[in-house]
Amino acid sequence: MEVLTVLVPYILRGLSITLEVTAIALGFGLFFGAILAILRVYGGKILSRVIGYYVTILRALPHILLLLVIYFMIARVVNLSAFWAGSVSLAIISSAYQAEIIRGAIQSVPGGQMMAARSIGMNRFKAIWYVIIPQAFRHAIPPWSNEAAIVIKDSSLVYILGVPEILRQAQYYSARTYKPFTAYVTVAAIYFLLTFITNRGLDAVERRIRIPA
Amino acid sequence: MSFLDYLQIALPKIWIGLQITFKVSLICLLIGMLIGFPVALARVYGPKWLRWLVTAYVEIFRGTPVLVQLFLIYYGLPQFGITFSAFTAAYLAIGLNSGAYQSEYFRGAIQAISSGQMMAARSIGMTRMQAIRYVIIPQAFRFAIPSWSNEAVSMVKISSIVYLIAVPEMLYVAKVLMSKYYNPMQTYILVGLVYLLVIGAMTLLLNEIERRTTIPGLETARRGS
Amino acid sequence: MPKSDKLIVKIENVHKAYGREQVLKGISMDVTEGEVVVLVGPSGTGKSTLLRCINQLTVPDSGKVWVNGVELTNPKIDIDKARQHIGMVFQDFNLFNHLTALDNVLLGLIHVLGMKKEKAHDKAMLELKRVGLANKCSNYPGQLSGGQKQRVAIARSLAMEPIVMLFDEPTSALDPELIGEVLTVMKDLAVEGMTMICVTHEIGFARDVCSRIVFMEYGEIIEQGNPDKMLNNPDLPRTRQFLGKISELH
C-alpha cells in the first residue's frame, strides 16, 4: 500500500524522540536506581527504611499520575521543555523499579561471598565492586530486560505532554487522513519491533556473559 | 479557599471517580482472567496451530503500549465503522491487555506443577482432559494467586489511562477539578493519597487472601519486580 | 608443631549472644606460633562463631581478641589490613563464582595487596600448584568438584601469606571420597609449621597432626589438652563420651 510509503516515514519522524526519551529514562533510571539499591542494602537501617518507603510509593502510583505530577513540579521550578520534563519524569519512575530489580539481584548473591571477600582483607567498597556487583549484574539482566520493554512502552505516555514521539505522529496522521486504524496499527508494529529487538538483544547478552558451570 | 473547604467539595467527586476506577479495574481484571486462563491452557496443552495463535496474541499485547491499544480500539476501529463507547473500548483494550499478562502468570503456574502431577494423574488411569480438569487446574489456580494479586493492583494503576478517552474515573475527576479551581498541587496530592490508600488496602487484603488460600507447603510463583 | 612461644592469637573472655541465646560465654584461649588447634564439640555450640570472632567477621559483645599483638576488637584498628594476614576457609567454600580458580587467588593479591599482575600471577600459580590444582586454573567454581573448590579456597587464603589459618568445618560439605584430598593439604600445612585453628569433626586429622584439642559445648570450653590425653584419657566423662562417639564415626 502506498499509504505505507507515506505513513511509515511520517511516523518514524517521531522515532528518534521515542528512542531518546527511552534512553534517558532507562539510563538515568539505572544510575539512580543502582545508587538507591546499594544504599538500601548497605546503608544501614534508617536509610534502608526511607528508601524503602520512597520506592514503594513510586511503584504504587499510576505512571500517568506520576508523570503529570513530576512534570508539573519540574515546570514550576525550571523552564524545561516537555521532552526533558517527560524524560526526567519517566527516569524517576523507572529508577524506583530498577532499584528493586538491582536490590533483588544484590540480595540473590550468597552471603558467603561478602564474607569471603572481607576475610582476605577487602574493605566493603572493594568487596561490593569486585565480588558482589559482577555476580548481581548477571542475575539482574532478565528482570531488567523486562523493565527496558516497559520503559519503551511507557514512552508513549509523554504523548500527553505534547512531545512529538511516534504516537503523537500517528495521531497527527490520523487527524489529517482519517485513517486512524492504519496509523495506530503501524505505531503498534513499531513498538512491537522495538520491544522484540530489545528483549532478544538482552537475551543474547545474557547468554554471552553467563558463567560457565 | 482553605484546603478543608476544598476537601469538602472535592472528596465527594473523587469518591464517585474512585467507584468508576474500581468498576473499570474489576471488569478488566475479570475479562483478563476469562481470557488469560484458557489462553494459558492452550499454550501448554494445545495443538501447534493453536499455540502459535495464542502466543502471537500474548506477544503482541505484551509488546505494545496499552495506550496504543486503547487508541486503536476507540479511535482506530471507527475507520471500519466499528464504534464503541468509551467504557466499552476501555474494557476491551485493558481487558485484552490484562489477559495477555495474566496468561503468562497462569502459564507459569501450570508449567510449574504440570509434569509431576500429570504423570501421577495419568498413572492412575486418568485421561489428559481429566488430569487437566481435576488435578492441574485446581492447583494452578491457587499457585498463581500471588502473581494474580499483583495484576489486580496493577489494574488500578493502569485504569487511569482511560481518562484520556473521557471515562470519568479518578484521574479524570482530578483534571476537571484542577481546571475549575486552579490548584493542581493540592488536587494531585489528594488523588495521589487516595491511590496510595486504595492500593495499600488492596495489597493487605490480597496478602490475607493469599495467605488463606495457598496450599500449605507448596512454593508459590512470585512475579519479579 | 609449636615453633616458638610467640603468641599468635589471644582470645580473652569473649562473649557473644544472638538474641536471647548466649552462644559464647566467656571464652579465653591462647594460640602460639606453629600450634595446630582443633575445636570439637556438638553442632551449634559456638565453635564457628568463635572462629569468626577472631577475624571479626562476627563482632563479640564483650571481650578482646589479639592477633599477632594487634588488638582486633579495638574499633580504631584497620580491620581490613589485619584480615590480610588471617586466612579463613569456609564450610561452603565461598569461592568467587564469577571468577576462574586463578582469578579467585589473584583477586586479593592484585586489589588488596596491590601486587603487579605478573608477580601476582606467578604467586597465584605457585599456590595453586601447592594444593595440586595448577591444571585447573582456568576453570570456574561451577566446573570444579567440592574437594577441588575447597583446595582453591585454601590456595586463595595462602596466597595472602597469613600468619594464622582458620578452618571452619572445611570438610563438612564434602562427599566422603573428596575429604581426603583436602585433609592432605591441611596436614602438609601443619607439618610446614602454619599456625592453624580448625573446627572439624575429622578426628583422624586431629590425631595425626594437631597439637591441642579443645572441646567446647554450649559456649564454654569444657576441656583441652594434647591429642593423646584428650582421645585416650580425658579428665571429664563428657569429653570421653563425645570424643569416643566421633572417634567411632571418623
Q: B119-133: per-residue pLDDT in tens?
A: 888 888 888 888 888
Provide the pairing of β-strand C7-18 with C21-32. Answer: antiparallel
pLDDT at B220: 44
Burial annotation B39-56 (CB, 10 A radius, 16+ → b, else e): bbbbbbbbeeeeeeebbe
CB-nearest partner of C111 from A116, A122, A213? A122
Measured distance CA(B195)–CA(A151) in Å, rounded: 22
Nearest partner of C111 among A118, A16, A72, judged by Cα: A118
Quick check: B65 and A192 CB within 8 A? no
Lowest average pLDDT, out of B204-213, C41-50, C114-123, goes to B204-213
pLDDT at B121: 86
Whether the pLDDT of residue B217 is over 60: the answer is no
Sorting pLDDT into bands at 50, 70 and 90, what band is B216?
low
Lowest average pLDDT, out of A125-129, B67-71, C234-238, goes to C234-238
Mean pLDDT of C112-136: 95
Nearest partner of B62 among C2, A188, A212, judged by Cα: A188
Q: Average pLDDT over chain A, rounded to whole?
A: 92
Nearest partner of C169 among C71, C250, C56, judged by Cα: C250
pLDDT at B158: 93
Query: What's the alpha-carbon Rg for chain A, to the nearest Å?
Result: 20
Q: Residue C198, SS3?
A: strand
Q: Average pLDDT over chain B, rounded to whole?
A: 88
Measured distance CA(C26)–CA(B139) in Å, rounded: 53
Q: Are A142 and C132 contacting, i.e. CB atoms less than 8 angstroms apart?
A: no
pLDDT at B224: 28
Name every residue whose Cβ is closer than 8 Å to that of residue B139 and which is 6 or more positions away in sequence.
B109, B113, B117, B215, B218
Q: Residue C73, SS3?
A: coil
CB atoms inside a 10 Å sphere around CB A205: 12
pLDDT at B218: 53
Nearest partner of A20 among A151, A168, A162, judged by Cα: A151
Mutate to test the interface with A, among B79, B171, B204 (most CBs of A within 10 A): B79
Nearest CA in chain A to B153: A60
pTM above 0.95, yes or no: no
pLDDT at B223: 30
Provide the pairing of β-strand C62-67 with C70-71. Answer: antiparallel
Whether the pLDDT of residue A130 is over 90: the answer is yes
Measured distance CA(C79)–CA(C66) in Å, rounded: 12
Mean pLDDT of B166-182: 91
CB-nearest partner of A112 from C87, C94, C98? C94
* Phi, psi at B214, each rounded to 5°: -75, 145
CB-nearest partner of A120 from C92, C93, C157? C157
Angle between helices A180-208 and A166-177 (to 10 degrees): 160
Residue B214 C-alpha cell reads as: 495457598
Measured distance CA(A203)–CA(B189) in Å, rounded: 40
pLDDT at C250: 65
Measured distance CA(A95)–CA(A114) in Å, rounded: 25
Shortest Cα distance, chain C CAs vs residue A112, angstroms = 5
Shortest Cα distance, chain B CAs vs residue A12, angstroms = 16
CA B39 centroid distance within chain? 15
Residues of C in contact with A113 (CB under 8 A): 94, 96-97
Measured distance CA(C91)–CA(A28) in Å, rounded: 41
What share of chain B in percent tops pLDDT 90? 57
Quick check: A121 and C57 CB within 8 A? no
* Phi, psi at C94, each rounded to 5°: 55, 40
Residues of A in contact with B202 (CB under 8 A): none
Q: Are C12 and C63 contacting, i.e. CB atoms less than 8 angstroms apart?
A: yes
Mutate to test the interface with C, among A109, A113, A114, A120 (most CBs of C within 10 A): A120
pLDDT at C15: 96
Residue C199 forms beta bridges with which residues? C39, C168
Q: Are C190 and C196 contacting, i.e. CB atoms less than 8 angstroms apart?
A: yes
Mean pLDDT of A54-80: 89
Question: Which of the 8 DSSP states describes residue C87?
Answer: E
Q: Residue A171, SS3?
A: helix
Residue C198 forms beta bridges with which residues? C38, C167
Q: Are A74 and A85 contacting, i.e. CB atoms less than 8 angstroms apart?
A: yes
Lowest average pLDDT, out of A91-95, A101-105, B4-8, C148-152, goes to B4-8
Name every residue whose Cβ is closer than 8 Å to that of residue C21 and which is 6 or more positions away in sequence.
none
* Phi, psi at A122, each rounded to 5°: -75, 140
How many helices (H) and strands (E) are present in chain A, helices listed first? Answer: 10, 0
Sorting pLDDT into bands at 50, 70 and 90, what band is C69?
very high
List, for residues C10-31, the tens digit of each pLDDT value.
999 999 999 889 999 999 999 9
Q: Are B144 and B213 contacting, i.e. CB atoms less than 8 angstroms apart?
A: no
Residues of C in contact with A115 (CB under 8 A): 57, 90, 94
List, for residues A11-62, the tens digit of each pLDDT value.
888 999 999 999 999 999 999 999 999 999 999 999 999 999 999 999 999 9
Q: Are C107 and C96 contacting, i.e. CB atoms less than 8 angstroms apart?
A: yes
ipTM for this prediction? 0.88
Whether the pLDDT of residue A2 is over 90: the answer is no
pLDDT at B221: 39
pLDDT at C248: 74
Query: What's the alpha-carbon Rg for chain C, to the nearest Å?
Result: 18
Which is more confident, B186 or C64? C64
Mean pLDDT of B38-65: 95
User: Residue A175: what residue type?
Assistant: A
Whether the pLDDT of residue C136 is over 80: the answer is yes
Question: Which of the 8 DSSP states describes residue C250?
Answer: -
Whether the pLDDT of residue C40 is over 90: the answer is yes
Residue B186: C-alpha distances to residues A57, B168, B190, C143, C184 (Å): 18, 19, 6, 60, 74
Residue C230 C-alpha cell reads as: 584428650
Assign residue B119 a region (left: φ > 0; alpha: ψ between -120 and 50; beta: otherwise): alpha
CA C208 centroid distance within chain? 17
Mean pLDDT of A172-200: 92
Mean pLDDT of B66-95: 94
Whether the pLDDT of residue B55 is over 90: the answer is yes
Nearest partner of A141 among A110, A98, A107, judged by Cα: A98
Mean pLDDT of B34-47: 94
Burial class (CB in 10 A: 0-12, 13-18, 19+), C135: exposed
Q: Is B161 in CB contact (< 8 Å) with chain A?
A: yes
Q: Are B214 and B144 contacting, i.e. CB atoms less than 8 angstroms apart?
A: no
Residue whose C-alpha cell is 502510583: A61
List, for residues B181-205, the tens digit of each pLDDT value.
888 888 998 999 999 999 999 988 8
Whether the pLDDT of residue B219 is over 60: the answer is no
Q: Are C160 and C112 contacting, i.e. CB atoms less than 8 angstroms apart?
A: yes
Whether the pLDDT of residue C247 is over 50: the answer is yes
Chains C and A are in contact, defined as 3 or more C-beta pairs closer than 8 angstroms: yes
Angle at A90 between CA A87 and CA A92, to 5 degrees: 110
CB-nearest partner of A121 from C98, C153, C160? C160
* Phi, psi at C56, each rounded to 5°: 65, 20
Alpha helices in B64-85 (DSSP H): 66-71
